[in-house]
Structure 1
Amino acid sequence: MYLLLILLMLVSFGIQWRLRSKFKQYAQVGLKSNLSGAQVAELMLADHGITDVRIISTQGRLTDHYNPTDKTVNLSEGVYAERSAAAAAIAAHECGHAVQHATAYSMLQFRSAMVPALSAVSTWMPWILLAGVVMINRSLIPLGVGIALFSLTTLFSFVTLPVEFDASRRALAWMDKRGVVTAQEHAMAKDALWWAAMTYVVAAISSLATLLYYVSIFMGGNRRN
């Protein structure tokens, strides 16, 4: 199990490096349509009849996200202003989440409903797990509670996968229909979004592996007791 966790960590680092490399490469390819990321986002929202979502610029790199609480598409500074295949892909993907929200996409609703519970337990969960491991020869209850809480984060990681893949599917389909990208630019956008999705896949698998690691400790303690 230790080797699996280390392997997944190395794979995660590798995918993150590949993702940044891909976005850096595709950020240098100007869009034939000459649209900035912000303009792509505006068009996609307008085409879906969404008028209550704001598009704002945020600091950082690859910090782009959609916030369903305040209905904002947050684009990193580069994506907001760049006129590239990478910027278009990211902007359209985040707007894909806004479309999911507007159409009451079930998996996004499920994920959003989990956020308050995860926020409430995230601070205490690592300490509960640590206490459970330390106290395993005295009581299995703390570790059991920690495992139950950690299972919520693992479930959240897997619920995130269809949400992310669906947002990318919506983004690519819309860009093609709208003529935002050429065939070559579409291939770049699809490749960039695929690598972005792989970060979520590895995160979900890593979370599951960590959960199973704690379960194995729990089972071992149960046999000893």
Structure 2
Amino acid sequence: MISPWLLMILIFGVSAFVSWRLKSKFNEYSQIALSNGLSGAEVAQHMLNENGIYDVRVLSTEGMLTDHYNPQDKTVNLSSDVYYGRSVAAAAVAAHECGHAVQHQKAYAPLKLRSALVPALSVASQYMQWIILAGIFLLNTTPIPLAIGVGLFALTTLFSFITLPVEFDASRRALAWIQSHNVVTEREYGFAKDALWWAAMTYVVAALGSLATLLYYASLLSGGRRSD
């Protein structure tokens, strides 16, 4: 059976590859102009309007691949390359983020659950690593701090796995919309689908990495209890 430590190293390598591949694909498809000439911001606005969403703003944000939907203030935040870009990559990413806005409008259950976990996760992330570190040092004395740390880390792992259906569903909605509304040609659709697939893989690897780390900490806790 593969050890949690070796699994973490393996997933780290896969994560680095997937991250590189995503950036490579985004750069490649950013060079392919969208046939209809729409910008990412225009694609986003059209998708929102077509879904009857008029209370969500489309904004430009700094950075690369920093695109996200904020359900708190109802904003679709697009990186400048996506907001102003008129490429296949820009259209795919903009539509994907609007997919989250559609999920919000339709009260998509996994999105609601993920949003509900955010406050608890925010608090846990502030103290989790310190509690785990203290737990490792105190393991020969008491397993309680590490057990608390493992519990908090389990919450972050749960969050990572809940994120998966949210991201895959947003991509599904985005691809269905850009195809049905002729935003892309058949050739461009294939590129958009490929770009969003690699984006989704980053979340898969992150979830597996979180699980591997959780198993590693759990193995430390289990080993410490056996030695008592």
Question: Is the structural similarity TM-score above 0.5?
Answer: yes
1:172 aligns with 175
Q: 3-state SS of the aligned residue for 1:123?
A: helix
* Partner of residue 17 from structure 2, selected from 14, 24, 40: 14
The CA deviation string for residues 21-77 of structure 1, in whole angstroms up to 9 with x for no partner, is 000000000011111000000000000000000000001000000000000000000
Q: Structure 1: which 5+ runs fail to align?
A: none
1:99 aligns with 102
Q: Does 1:110 align with 2:108?
A: no
Over the aligned positions, Cα root-mean-square deviation in angstroms equals: 0.5
How many residues align structurally?
225
> Separation in 2 of the partners of 1:21 and 1:157?
24
Q: Does 1:126 align with 2:129?
A: yes
User: What's the offset of the Cα at 1:2?
Assistant: 1.9
2:146 aligns with 143
> Separation in 2 of the partners of 1:111 and 1:181?
31
- The TM-score, its normalising length taken from structure 1, stands at 0.99
Q: 3-state SS of the aligned residue for 1:124?
A: helix
2:200 aligns with 197
User: What's the offset of the Cα at 1:10?
Assistant: 1.1
User: What's the offset of the Cα at 1:7?
Assistant: 1.2
1:183 aligns with 186
User: Would you identify which runs of 4 or more consecutive aligned residues in structure 1 move more than 6 Å?
Assistant: none
2:226 aligns with 223
User: What's the offset of the Cα at 1:121?
Assistant: 1.2
* Partner of residue 56 from structure 1, selected from 53, 56, 59: 59
> Separation in 2 of the partners of 1:126 and 1:83?
42
* Partner of residue 6 from structure 2, selected from 3, 6, 9: 3
> Separation in 1 of the partners of 2:215 and 2:10?
15
> Separation in 1 of the partners of 2:145 and 2:38?
54
Tell me the percent identity.
64
> Separation in 1 of the partners of 2:226 and 2:7?
24
User: What's the offset of the Cα at 1:196?
Assistant: 0.3
